[in-house]
């Protein structure tokens, strides 16, 4: 299915937020990690049950080091 992830349209096999994070190698326990679908923030406790649909707009925001 196609999703727009952080502004880039791509084909993904993930069906939930948790699966999407796992497929990207993102540790879901990372502090300050946030996910929004179609402009609405998804609570961390709902990531394993929050399903993704075709053409959803997903934003994954996480801290990174650098300057």
With 0-12 / 13-18 / 19 or more C-beta atoms within 10 angstroms meaning exposed / middle / buried, residue 12 is: middle
For the segment(s) 2-61, the CATH number from 3.40.50.620, 1.10.3720.10, 3.40.640.10, 3.10.20.30 is: 3.10.20.30
Provide the residue ranges of all domains of the chain, joining segments of one domain with +.
2-61
- The pLDDT of residue 3 is 97
pTM comes to 0.89
Would you write out the chain's pLDDT as a tens digit for each of its 67 residues? 999 999 999 999 999 999 999 999 999 998 899 999 999 999 999 999 999 999 999 999 987 777 5
| Contact assessment for residue 12 and residue 65, using Cβ atoms and an 8 Å cutoff | no
| Contact assessment for residue 28 and residue 60, using Cβ atoms and an 8 Å cutoff | no
């Amino acid at each position: 299915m196609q999703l727009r992830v952080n502004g880039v349209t791509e084909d993904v096999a993930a069906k939930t937020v948790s699966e999407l994070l796992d497929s990207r190698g993102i540790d879901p326990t990372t502090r300050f990690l946030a996910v929004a679908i179609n402009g609405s923030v998804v609570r961390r406790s709902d990531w394993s049950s929050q399903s993704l649909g075709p053409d959803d707009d997903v934003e994954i925001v996480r801290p990174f080091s650098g300057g």
